[in-house]
Structure 1
Amino acid sequence: MTSSAGAVDEQAAVIVRCRDNPSVGVKFCDRFSFDGDSVHYAVEAWAPGLTARVDEVVAWIWDSDLGPFLEELAADHRGWEGERIWQTNDRDLAVSAVFRSGGHIGLTWTLCPWPNAAGGWSASVTTWLEGGEQMSSFAADIRHFLAG
């Protein structure tokens, strides 16, 4: 499964690159599961001068995961006002989405591996995608990745 927004490679990873600056991106990889209730995966983000990774992000089957959030953004490709936000229960991965004229969606990915620890860190990168088909393809790639 491949799209210009995201791609699933042979190691079961999804990569999304910024359409405005391809040196900025996010990678979902290293998916595994202990049981039928959750999926664990890693998220990597990069930009010039920045590389960050969060190991073992958890998606619970009973919770609203990233796939439906991205699908809602794709469905609203004509735009919306303000910012939409999604985050994991552990708050180690958060995504905020904004819409700009021309049909582009900005996704700011914030990685924060120890949100409650003293001395912890966070890093953010923003990827811009075309609304509609590019966003729909990326959402489908993420859903496929999380479903395994």
Structure 2
Amino acid sequence: MLVDDDETPVLRLPTSSGLTLEFEQDWPYGPDDPHVEGMLVRVLGDHVRLEQQVILLGSPGLSKFLWILYDDFRGWPGERTWRSLEDELQVTARHDGHVHLRWDLSHRPWSDSSWTFSTTTHHGAGEDIRRLADAFAQLFAPGP
């Protein structure tokens, strides 16, 4: 799931539709701003390639959200949602014995056309979600 490409850690998450979601740590305002982190989110497939920068404040919070889902592996009613700082990425979780994560990626520039992409990944409620939470935590871990 987490691989190093040319010394840059990338988290790859395959979807059931044959697309791959890629997540890479990014510094939208440069590495000197310790309060604002980000990540590049890519959608890759045979006939599609999307990329969107996602702004995060402080820590990513996504790994914490996934850890909460892991802690509640027996299930929860309805949906739970995590959003990036400027809503470029939204992750909605639903539990029916398995965890379904809907990844909504949006591009809303001030002057150009906008787009929204959505896909769902399916995970085991226990260890699969824990491994995903660990991978996101590792992606944003401080370097040596």
Quick check: TM above 0.5?
A: yes
Contact kept? 1:46, 1:125, Cα under 8 Å = no
Percent of paired sites with the same residue: 24
Q: Which of 54, 76, 85 is the matching residue for 2:52?
A: 54
Contact kept? 2:60, 2:140, Cα under 8 Å = no
Aligned to 2:43: 45
Q: Which of 88, 93, 113 is the matching residue for 1:92?
A: 88
Contact kept? 2:75, 2:95, Cα under 8 Å = yes
**What is the CA-CA distance between 1:144 and the residue it aligns to?**
1.4
Aligned to 2:118: 124
Aligned to 2:11: 14
| Larger displacement relative to structure 2 (64-73 or 32-41) | 32-41
| Larger displacement relative to structure 2 (34-43 or 88-97) | 34-43
TM-score (structure 1 length as normaliser): 0.80
Q: Which of 64, 67, 71 is the matching residue for 2:63?
A: 67
**What is the CA-CA distance between 1:122 and the residue it aligns to?**
0.5
Matched residue type, 1:53: E
Count how many residue pairs are aligned between Structure 1 and Structure 2. 136
Gaps of 5+ in 2: none
Gaps of 5+ in 1: 1-6
Question: In structure 2, what is the Cα distance between the partners aligned to 1:58 and 1:34?
Answer: 15
Question: In structure 2, what is the Cα distance between the partners aligned to 1:28 and 1:12?
Answer: 9
Any idea what SS the aligned residue of 2:132 has?
helix
Any idea what SS the aligned residue of 2:9 has?
coil
Any runs of at least 4 consecutive aligned residues in structure 1 with deviations exceeding 2 A, and if so which?
Answer: 30-34, 45-52, 115-119
The within-5 A match list for 1:109-120 is 109-114=103-108, 119-120=113-114
Aligned to 2:73: 77
Question: In structure 2, what is the Cα distance between the partners aligned to 1:75 and 1:116?
Answer: 39
Question: In structure 1, what is the Cα distance between the partners aligned to 2:122 and 2:32?
Answer: 34
**What is the CA-CA distance between 1:60 and the residue it aligns to?**
1.2
Q: Which fold has the larger relative contact order, with Cα–Cα distance below 8 Å and residues 6 or more apart in sequence? A: 1
Any idea what SS the aligned residue of 1:40 has?
strand
Contact kept? 2:70, 2:125, Cα under 8 Å = yes
Any idea what SS the aligned residue of 1:42 has?
strand
Question: In structure 2, what is the Cα distance between the partners aligned to 1:119 and 1:22?
Answer: 26
Question: In structure 1, what is the Cα distance between the partners aligned to 2:10 and 2:35?
Answer: 21
